[in-house]
Amino acid sequence: MNDSATETPLLRILDCTVRYNGGAAAVSSLDLAIGQGERVALVGPSGAGKTTIIGLANGTVLPTSGRVEIAGVDSTLLDRRQNRHVRQRVATIHQDFALVSSLRVIHNVASGRLGQWSTFRAIKSLIRPPHREEVHAVLEQVGIAEKLWERTDSLSGGQMQRVAIARALFQDPDLLLADEPVSSLDPTRSKAVLDVLVQVTVDKPDRSLVASLHDAPLAKAYFNRIVGISKGKIVFDLPASEVSSDRLDALYQIEHRATNQHPDQ
């Protein structure tokens, strides 16, 4: 964790192990802390545990053992209502966008605050979307304000991704998570998306960004801190300036050697 995170971390994952359906550990005895204003990239091979870490951070994955704290609060000890309130500080941009394609853009973006609304208000929002000016403002931040009233399924993949980013921003989170945000994009579009993600953290200096990435050079170019993950464990956690090409090559070789030794897995 950087010097910027010497106070109570915004996110702390403490000695967490996750096993899905009693199988092998997706992450094992993992410790990770994220401070305010940090931009952290999780890098490593497919299946290394990056998405599981994102899930621990946003509460969609529960640890088999260990605990997860948001701003010093152990989220595993809260009741459903309390946990929902704490989790509103965390927003996620999902790899598959998780948009409702038949809805208009304004409805998808406004759904970023569903966790704050009653069931009645959520249903009412489908008829009369609230906070139109705020929705327009976050769409303007990501460069597609003109798409406000368009159906989401009429957009290109890149535009849908920007809607997903706008929805997360509409939640006004302290911690922004992005699960493989550029995995299906060409280099030019990848840089454009990362430009947006970095800018929205610059616009709100206390906001932290954690993204899982396959592209290590992009991680070094856009993030201040790089966490290397392999086989569910942290291999290194360093400032981006200290992560060498040799270290990154070694990270992927760890997985390559393990695969060769265990071809049945």
Q: In angstroms, what CA-CA distances link 182 with 20, 52, 113, 186, 260?
A: 26, 18, 25, 8, 28
Exposed e or buried b for every residue in 92-112, given b needs 16+ CB within 10 A? bbbbebebeeebbbbbbbbbb
d(CA 216, CA 42): 9
- Which pTM was predicted? 0.87
Quickly tell me which residue has 């071809």 as its tokens.
263
Residue 127: predicted pLDDT: 67
Asked if residue 27 has pLDDT above 80, the reply is: yes
- Residue 124 pLDDT exceeds 90: no
Class (C level, CATH) for 1-89+175-265? alpha beta
Q: How far apart are CA 227 and CA 219, in angstroms?
A: 10
Secondary structure string (H, E, C) spanning 13-59: EEEEEEECCCCCEEEEEEEEEECCCCEEEEECCCCCCHHHHHHHHHC
- 25 in Cβ contact with 53 (< 8 Å): no
Q: Which amino acid is at 170?
A: F
Question: In angstroms, rounded to a whole number, what is the distance separating the alpha carbons of residues 119 and 133?
Answer: 22
CA–CA gap between residue 58 and residue 95 (Å, rounded): 14
Q: Tell me: pLDDT of 79 over 90.
A: no
User: 171: helix, coil or strand?
Assistant: coil
Query: pLDDT class for 247, splitting at 50, 70, 90?
Result: very high
In 3D space, the residue among 140, 142, 151 whose CA is nearest the CA of residue 106 turns out to be 151
pLDDT at 5: 43
Comma-separated ranges of CATH 3.40.50.300 domains in the chain: 1-89+175-265
Tell me the average pLDDT of the chain: 88
Per-residue model confidence (pLDDT) at position 264: 40
Lowest mean pLDDT among 79-93, 131-145, 148-162: 79-93
- Rounded distance between C-alpha atoms, residue 205 and residue 233, angstroms: 29
Mean pLDDT highest for which of 3-17, 22-36, 85-99? Answer: 22-36
pLDDT band at 235 (very low <50, low <70, confident <90, very high): very high
Q: What mean pLDDT is predicted for residues 3-20?
A: 84
Percent of the chain with pLDDT over 70: 88
Q: What percent of the chain has pLDDT over 90?
A: 68
